[in-house]
Structure 1
Amino acid sequence: MQHLETSYKTHDQLDLYLQAWMVPSPKASILLVHGLGEHSSRYVHLVEKFNEAGISVFTFDGRGHGKSDKPKPTAYFESYEDYLKDIDVLFGKVKKFVPDVPAFIYGHSMGGGLVATYVLKYKPESAGVILSSPAIKEAEGTSKLLIAVSSVISKYFPRLKALKLDASKVSRIPEEVEKYLKDPLVYTDAVPARTGFELLQAMRFVQENASEFELPVLLIHGSSDGLTNPKGSEILFEKAKSSDKTLKVFPGGYHELINDLDREEVMNLLVNWIIDRIPKS
């Protein structure tokens, strides 16, 4: 396995931190898109599972996140459309870097919602998509007034810290919550108003256009996820016209399933799902 680190300058001149874990003679490649407030290096244990199965993994710290936001993460970005452009360019790089093998996309939480949006808007040529706890539907009971007010705040006070996420809902394993809270590259303050509003727009787009989703897709969600609404995964699963679609709900599961009590089962499911979609030579 070879670990590479580099950077990429976006269309609007931001420097994004990129990293990849390459295996010799890969059977497949995957672009991994992390969740809100976190960063790509939190997935090393999953990367190892993919690498052991002959899958090369490419990932990045998104705009406003991890090592891409100096001097420290803010979780701020102007537009979800900018994020989709980043995903598109980087997925193109993955396919050029590892040609002639199936290329997959993985998105968690915010990354899952954005990957779903990307698939619907850009129609990428991908062998399949994994969406982990994707942000596709707002929390139950979110008032229309609050949503209307959020657009005003986003416009005039875009960096106002508007929505605090409950870190205790990341995992049922206390050590994982502690690790999350102590990680200097994880943003744990309230989410900026513009970021929240843009994610809401992306979620609405997925809800309204889910019937146009055609790629093979694996959706995983915890039934007790308190950070993204499991009903969002159900909506996409029910509406997608994909002939190959799977929804796996983990009873009692919290938000980060690869860091929760069922993590070994979850990671094996992810790896096997990809392996099963690699053409046998």
Structure 2
Amino acid sequence: MAESREHTFTGTKGLNTAREWPNDRPRYLALLIHGYGEHIGRYEYVADRLVRHGAAVYGIDHMGHGKSTGDRVLVENFEDVVTDVHTVEERARADHPGVPVVVIGHSMGGMIAARYAQRYGDGLAALVLSGPVIGEWEIVPALLAYEEPPDTPIDPATLSRDLSVGTAYAADPLVWHGPFKRPTLEAFATTLETIAKGGTLGSLPTLWVHGADDELVPLRGSRPGVEAIKGTYLTERIYEGARHEVFNETNKDEVLDDVTSFVDRAL
């Protein structure tokens, strides 16, 4: 696997931990944006593939996630998370002036990436949305119907057909295994509405990848969200039989081949 290094910086709500997988002469910079309850350390395989493809890779643990500070999984405003990701982009650009930037977001990270593209898309070369929480995510209104959201743990088997992925997830001390927090659910609802009203992605090359058997973020909910923001250059890849984490699926190399081929076309 590609070597990596960590650093910390003061984000919008506290100290964030960022990780970099360096490349001395990158063709592009890849910003990885992780999903709800997890951390950027789960993306080693993705980062390794991207480094070998010519990228310098950067990512952070969002506030309240992984090694970053804050109440666990508490996000009151996802605009703050977008701002923190932008701080990482600014560092990446300072390290490698003039190198194009590609944003890759998974699940909640796909939602953050979509909003990021609405705010900062003029400076991006490409966008990849993996199993994005966008459009209608039925778990949000379902849990907001309760004054205190019930504990509905993720079934690790829904992550991938490779069951070792779920086993590692369940044993990972940096993964949150508790219930959703109401302010975070409210922030999800607000951000989904903001994205829906935020306009299209224009000419930004966008790749949408999704597992056809994704039970955590069902395809049927994400599709109207993608349709609402898509610009003039959207590539769609739906993988039959795949579950939520397509970057950790049994066909992950096919998925990452699609991602790197898309980036080549976009660049």
TM-score (norm 2): 0.90
Structure 1 residue 102: Cα displacement: 1.1
Report the CA distance shift for 1:221/1:210 in structure 2 as closer, same or farther (over 3 A): farther
CA distance in 1, matches of 2:170, 2:99: 38
- 1:191-237 per-residue CA deviation (whole Å, 9 max, x = no partner) reads 21111221122122223335355421101011111111313442244
2:63 maps to which residue? Answer: 63
Structure 1 residue 18: Cα displacement: 0.7
Contact 2:135/2:225, CA 8 A, preserved across alignment: no
CA distance in 2, matches of 1:90, 1:3: 15
2:245 maps to which residue? Answer: 256
Structure 1 residue 276: Cα displacement: 2.3
Structure 1 residue 163: Cα displacement: 4.7
Report the CA distance shift for 1:210/1:116 in structure 2 as closer, same or farther (over 3 A): same
Report the CA distance shift for 1:175/1:129 in structure 2 as closer, same or farther (over 3 A): same
CA distance in 2, matches of 1:49, 1:182: 25
1:202 maps to which residue? Answer: 191
2:207 maps to which residue? Answer: 218
Structure 1 residue 98: Cα displacement: 1.4
- 1:40-89 per-residue CA deviation (whole Å, 9 max, x = no partner) reads 0111111111111111100111101001137xx72112221211211222
SS at match of 2:204: coil
Contact 1:161/1:192, CA 8 A, preserved across alignment: no
What amino acid maps onto 2:7 in structure 1? T
- 1:74-120 per-residue CA deviation (whole Å, 9 max, x = no partner) reads 21122212112112222222222211121111110001001111222
Structure 1 residue 36: Cα displacement: 0.4
CA distance in 2, matches of 1:229, 1:43: 22
CA distance in 1, matches of 2:198, 2:235: 18
CA distance in 2, matches of 1:33, 1:167: 20
Structure 1 residue 272: Cα displacement: 1.8
Report the CA distance shift for 1:276/1:112 in structure 2 as closer, same or farther (over 3 A): same
2:8 maps to which residue? Answer: 7
2:174 maps to which residue? Answer: 185
CA distance in 1, matches of 2:27, 2:97: 10
Aligned residue pairs total: 266
What amino acid maps onto 1:43 in structure 2? Y
Q: How high is the sequence identity, in percent, across the aligned residues?
A: 26
What amino acid maps onto 1:7 in structure 2? T
1:35 maps to which residue? Answer: 35
Bigger shift: residues 111-120 or 237-246: 237-246
Bigger shift: residues 203-212 or 104-113: 203-212
1:117 maps to which residue? Answer: 115
CA distance in 2, matches of 1:148, 1:74: 19
- What is the 5 A alignment of 1:127-142? 127-140=125-138
Contact 2:144/2:185, CA 8 A, preserved across alignment: no
Structure 1 residue 20: Cα displacement: 0.4
CA distance in 2, matches of 1:235, 1:179: 32
2:49 maps to which residue? Answer: 49
Report the CA distance shift for 1:232/1:218 in structure 2 as closer, same or farther (over 3 A): farther
What amino acid maps onto 2:37 in structure 1? G
CA distance in 2, matches of 1:61, 1:148: 25
Contact 1:163/1:193, CA 8 A, preserved across alignment: no
TM-score (norm 1): 0.86
- 1:241-263 per-residue CA deviation (whole Å, 9 max, x = no partner) reads 52221111111210000111211
